[in-house]
């Protein structure tokens, strides 16, 4: 190598360093809380994305919070029949929260009334009876049920999970699309598309709300000032520890609701890039869980080698074809609770063997449920474990 080639090599090296630095810079800037962008509200997006808007409008996200003044029918609880759990009157309710499992009620001074209506049982259940007068909906709940939340002002741009909750503030995008015919080369994207983020960062967009824990200072139960595209980490959020027995079963699966992200992030699916949007469509409500296809097709699409044969297949327990081929029944057991235990599916994708109940729960499914007992509620746990051990002894080495 003579001097000239060395010089050229250095120049090439520096140029590629600069290019990679600018790439890092661009990626780093995508969607981060760029302060010049502001929230404009979902109605504005409708102007140009009317089809997505119409689909999104049907999702639970768009209907989480209802104002009674605008929609008196939003109140679903039974206020006619007297009930000892319900200690308040209908006319105290200014906003409602929830449409799938339970509904809670908010007053004109932002308190959450001390009973909730459970849809499935059609019954009232006491809620936070001791502390309800101290807790303010705006600081305890607001962030996750609104869009463009500001923790200093305790205010937001829009009630409900609007477009910008997942795409970040949209003012620049709207401005560009309305005024500019072309975007200058190298200009950072004007709006966040989760599909362009890394798999982990895209999951964090959902994980900002589908999580449980506190801000690092312990003040708020959500990641303060997080914006889509940001990294969710110990710097902005402390997940609820596994030692918290209100949130986790002893085997580290979900006991309450909204823990999907903190379960998912430690799975093989997370490592393999199988994130929330691989299985869920954020804009479309095919079913109440917004999955892209039916349960088994979802799994078999990527795990085609798993045989559903009743006798010689992957899960030959009991010899019944349909139920014991139900991937979600065993790998995403409904052990979590929103209104009732059984509402929420674990996102660890781990089968929970009956032996877990014996070893960690003293044999009682109330202390530690297992995948078999979720469906076979009355069956003795020992018998389920014996049956499982007998019929699926080589499980992990068989297709
Ligand atoms: C004036 C019209 C207009 C408005 C208003 C508008 N958009 Fe767009 N948007 C577009 C067009 C056109 C494209 C596709 C062109 C492109 O690829 O950049 C687009 C693309 C996008 C993309 C994909 C970007 C990418 O990099 O893949 C997202 C996400 C998006 N819009 C979200 C929104 C949201 C959220 C709002 C409301 C805050 C909104 N848009 C309002 C015109 C608009
Ligand atoms: C960290 C974000 C976050 C916080 C804080 C939060 N929620 Fe939620 N909430 C969610 C998510 C996400 C769901 C849906 C999750 C699920 O089903 O697993 C949900 C679901 C609900 C539901 C059930 C909805 C239904 O259709 O059945 C109600 C009611 C509710 N929240 C009320 C509240 C109240 C009241 C507070 C404050 C005391 C609160 N939430 C605090 C994120 C949050
Ligand atoms: C709960 C989160 C969430 C909400 C709310 C949401 N989006 Fe999206 N959006 C996504 C995700 C995730 C993607 C990327 C999907 C993928 O990975 O293929 C996306 C993609 C898009 C795209 C790119 C093109 C496409 O169809 O994939 C546009 C445009 C868009 N969203 C507009 C909107 C508008 C407008 C609204 C409100 C009416 C909205 N989104 C509400 C999460 C959301
Ligand atoms: C701003 C907070 C927020 C963000 C961001 C968010 N969600 Fe949600 N999500 C909620 C709340 C609150 C509910 C409860 C709605 C209700 O009242 O039923 C919910 C409900 C859902 C539901 C319906 C089933 C249920 O448990 O209620 C699915 C599925 C879901 N979210 C998936 C996603 C996915 C996937 C993403 C990311 C692409 C995402 N969410 C982003 C707050 C959020
Ligand atoms: C491998 C597929 C897959 C992945 C990845 C996945 N989910 Fe799910 N999710 C499901 C299935 C299947 C259900 C249950 C649907 C049913 O019973 O029909 C579900 C249910 C849910 C529900 C309803 C409440 C519950 O827990 O049962 C929410 C909310 C949800 N997922 C959010 C998320 C979020 C947020 C992520 C990313 C952190 C995620 N999911 C990742 C497949 C997946
Ligand atoms: C987009 C493709 C994709 C989808 C959809 C998918 N998986 Fe997976 N799954 C994978 C990959 C990739 C791995 C990791 C394989 C590895 O690391 O060995 C994996 C791993 C697993 C594992 C092993 C986990 C462990 O800890 O050993 C189980 C169990 C599993 N998946 C079940 C499911 C179920 C149940 C569904 C449906 C709800 C599903 N998968 C949907 C791609 C997928
Ligand atoms: C998704 C729900 C579901 C899960 C999970 C499940 N089962 Fe079943 N199982 C069923 C149903 C439904 C039947 C059929 C019952 C009938 O025909 O009376 C059945 C039948 C059986 C039978 C035959 C019963 C008889 O009387 O012949 C045995 C044994 C059995 N299951 C054991 C297990 C074991 C062990 C596990 C855990 C490894 C398990 N099951 C997980 C739903 C489930
Ligand atoms: C009766 C319960 C049961 C059913 C139903 C079931 N599995 Fe499994 N699966 C297991 C057990 C047990 C293992 C062994 C690993 C473990 O203990 O977690 C396993 C392991 C796996 C693995 C890891 C690779 C391997 O073979 O060890 C994948 C992938 C998987 N299952 C996918 C599926 C899919 C896809 C379906 C639906 C067609 C399904 N399973 C239905 C119980 C079940």
| pLDDT mean for each 10 residues of the chain (399 residues) | 43 42 36 70 97 97 96 96 96 97 97 97 97 96 97 96 98 91 77 97 98 96 95 96 97 97 98 98 91 91 87 70 78 95 95 95 96 93 90 53
Q: Are 106 and 94 in contact (CB under 8 A)?
A: yes
- For ligand 3, whether the C-beta of 163 sits within 6 Å is yes
Q: Are 160 and 79 in contact (CB under 8 A)?
A: no
* Closest alpha carbon to 161 in 177, 141, 178: 141
Q: Are 330 and 346 in contact (CB under 8 A)?
A: no
Q: Which atom from ligand 8 is nearest to the alpha carbon of 307?
A: 38
Q: Which atom from ligand 5 is nearest to the alpha carbon of 278?
A: 5
- For ligand 2, whether the C-beta of 222 sits within 6 Å is yes
Per-residue CA distances from 318 to 98, 101, 272, 371 (Å):
38, 32, 32, 14
Token pair for 212: 């449980």
CA distance 138 to 68: 17
Q: Are 370 and 363 in contact (CB under 8 A)?
A: no
Q: Which of 104, 144, 337 gets mutated to test ligand 2 (max ligand atoms within 8 A of its CB)?
A: 144
- For ligand 1, whether the C-beta of 182 sits within 6 Å is no
Q: Which atom from ligand 5 is nearest to the alpha carbon of 287?
A: 18
pLDDT of residue 158: 97
pLDDT of residue 27: 35
Q: Which atom from ligand 2 is nearest to the alpha carbon of 211?
A: 1
Token pair for 216: 């690092």
CA distance 255 to 361: 14
- For ligand 2, whether the C-beta of 98 sits within 6 Å is yes
pLDDT of residue 392: 75
* DSSP-derived pairing of the beta strands 102-106 and 334-337: unpaired
Q: Which of 264, 267, 269, 350 gets mutated to test ligand 6 (max ligand atoms within 8 A of its CB)?
A: 269
Token pair for 182: 């072309």
- For ligand 3, whether the C-beta of 194 sits within 6 Å is yes
pLDDT of residue 33: 44
Q: What angle do CA 224, 230, 233 make, to 5 degrees?
A: 65
* Closest alpha carbon to 97 in 110, 86, 79, 83: 110
**Considering every ligand atom, which ligand is closest to the CA of 228?**
4
Buried b (16+ CB within 10 A) or exposed e, 28-43: eebbbeeeebebbebe
CA distance 394 to 399: 10
In this structure, the dihedral spanned by the alpha carbons of residues 138, 144, 148 and 154, taken in order and rounded to 10 degrees, is 10
Cα(338) to centroid(ligand 2), Å: 9
Which residues, in sequence order, are CB contacts of 17 under 8 Å at separation 6+? none
Question: How buried is residue 318: exposed, middle or buried, by Cβ count under 10 Å (0-12/13-18/19+)?
Answer: middle
**Considering every ligand atom, which ligand is closest to the CA of 327?**
8
- What is the model's pTM? 0.93
Q: Where are the domains of the chain?
A: 42-196, 238-397
5 φ/ψ angles, rounded to the nearest 5 degrees: -65, -35
Token pair for 94: 């200014």
């Amino acid at each position: 190598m003579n001097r000239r080639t060395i010089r050229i090599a250095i120049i090439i090296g520096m140029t590629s360093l600069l290019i990679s630095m600018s790439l890092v810079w661009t990626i780093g800037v995508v969607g981060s809380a760029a302060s010049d962008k502001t929230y404009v509200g979902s109605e504005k997006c409708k102007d140009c994305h009317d089809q997505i808007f119409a689909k999104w409008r049907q999702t639970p996200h768009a209907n989480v919070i209802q104002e009674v003044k605008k929609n008196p029918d939003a109140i679903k609880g039974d206020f006619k029949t007297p009930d000892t759990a319900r200690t308040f009157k209908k006319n105290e309710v200014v906003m409602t929260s929830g449409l799938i499992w339970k509904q809670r009620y908010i007053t004109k001074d932002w308190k959450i009334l001390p009973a909730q209506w459970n849809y499935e049982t059609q019954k009232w259940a006491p809620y936070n009876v001791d502390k309800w007068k101290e807790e303010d909906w705006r600081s305890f709940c607001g962030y996750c049920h609104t869009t463009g939340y500001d923790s200093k002002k305790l205010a937001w741009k829009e009630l409900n999970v609007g477009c910008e909750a997942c795409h970040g503030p949209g003012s620049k995008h709207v401005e560009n699309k309305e005024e500019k015919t072309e975007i200058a080369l190298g200009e950072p994207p004007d709006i966040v598309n989760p599909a362009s983020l890394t798999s982990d960062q895209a999951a964090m967009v959902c994980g900002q709300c589908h999580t449980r824990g506190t801000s690092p200072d312990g003040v708020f139960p959500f990641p303060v000032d997080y914006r889509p595209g940001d990294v969710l980490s110990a710097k902005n959020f402390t997940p609820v520890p596994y030692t918290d027995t209100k949130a986790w079963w002893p085997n580290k699966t979900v006991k309450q609701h909204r823990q999907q992200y903190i379960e998912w992030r430690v799975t093989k699916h997370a490592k393999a890039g199988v994130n929330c949007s691989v299985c869920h469509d954020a804009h479309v409500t095919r079913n109440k869980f917004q999955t892209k296809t039916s349960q088994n097709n979802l799994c078999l699409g990527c795990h085609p080698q798993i045989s559903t044969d009743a006798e010689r297949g992957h899960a030959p327990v009991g010899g019944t074809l349909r139920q014991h081929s139900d991937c979600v029944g065993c790998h995403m057991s409904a052990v979590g609770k929103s209104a009732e235990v059984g509402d929420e599916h674990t996102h660890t994708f781990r089968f929970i063997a009956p032996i877990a109940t014996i070893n960690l729960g003293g044999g009682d499914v109330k202390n530690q449920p297992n995948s078999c007992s979720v469906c076979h509620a009355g069956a003795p746990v020992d018998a389920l474990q014996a049956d499982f051990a007998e019929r699926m002894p080589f499980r992990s080495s068989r297709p």
